[in-house]
Amino acid sequence: MTIPPLACQPHDHRHCIEQALAEAETLCARQGLRLTALRRRVLELVWQSHKPLGAYDILAVLSEQDGRRAAPPTVYRALDFLLEHGLVHRIASLNAFVGCDHPAHAHQGQFFICRQCHAAIELERSAISDSILDSARGLGFRVEGQTVEVVGLCARCQDAR
């Protein structure tokens, strides 16, 4: 049995945010990347919860709460930077973005998304990616990127019945 992920159980979420920001600082420092105030803030907002967040939700906070002049490109550029360096992931089936648990190494996770509480649990199971690579090999298909998004009910929301 694996360790149950924080995402779908009560926890001190401030710690998640702090850690994510700290890891981002470290990663950017190490790679000579510029984690600007805007990018840092967008990352923080994406980490506001474990629920994938829409670009326009981020935009709304920047405008209304931060009083920052912001139009869509402002947000999308920040998100592009964060995506490119693995600090956030995009959930295609939701048109939304979620913070990455472990940005230290390049990867594309697998996401288990609860339709009830909307939490997105990220895993990185070689059993899944290997089975995909294996099927691809049978086709002679060269894999460049994998999107695995599973929707259903997390353990907590099942219990809450």
Partner DNA sequence: TCTAAAGTGTAATAGAATAACGTCCCCATG
Partner DNA sequence: CATGGGGACGTTATTCTATTACACTTTAGA
Shortest approach of its own copies to residue 98 CB, angstroms?
15
User: Is residue 147 part of the contact set for DNA (CB under 7 A)?
Assistant: no
Counting every residue written for the chain, the total comes to 161
Which one, 92 or 104, has the nearer CB to its own copies? 92
The candidate with the shortest Cα–Cα distance to 41, out of 15, 89, 75, is 75
For residue 53, give every residue at least 6 positions away whose Cβ sits within 8 Å of its Cβ, in sequence order, or none: 45, 46, 96, 97, 98
- With contacts defined by CB under 7 A, name the span among 12-20, 73-81, 130-138, 144-152 that binds DNA: 73-81
Which one, 43 or 154, has the nearer CB to its own copies? 154
Give the residue numbers of the binding site for Zn(2+).
114, 117, 154, 157
84: part of which helix (H) or strand (E)?
A: helix 72-84
For residue 11, give every residue at least 6 positions away whose Cβ sits within 8 Å of its Cβ, in sequence order, or none: none
What are the residues binding its own copies (CB under 8 A)?
1-2, 4-5, 8, 92-93, 110, 112, 114-115, 121, 123, 125, 127-128, 130-132, 134-136, 138-155, 158
User: Is residue 96 part of the contact set for DNA (CB under 7 A)?
Assistant: yes
What x-and-dash track marks residues 3-42 binding DNA by CB under 7 A?
A: ------------------------------xx-xxxx---
Structural contact between residues 109 and 100, judged by C-beta atoms closer than 8 angstroms: yes
Structural contact between residues 33 and 26, judged by C-beta atoms closer than 8 angstroms: no
Structural contact between residues 141 and 103, judged by C-beta atoms closer than 8 angstroms: no
Q: Which residues bind DNA (CB under 7 A)?
A: 33-34, 36-39, 54-57, 68-74, 76-78, 81, 90, 95-96
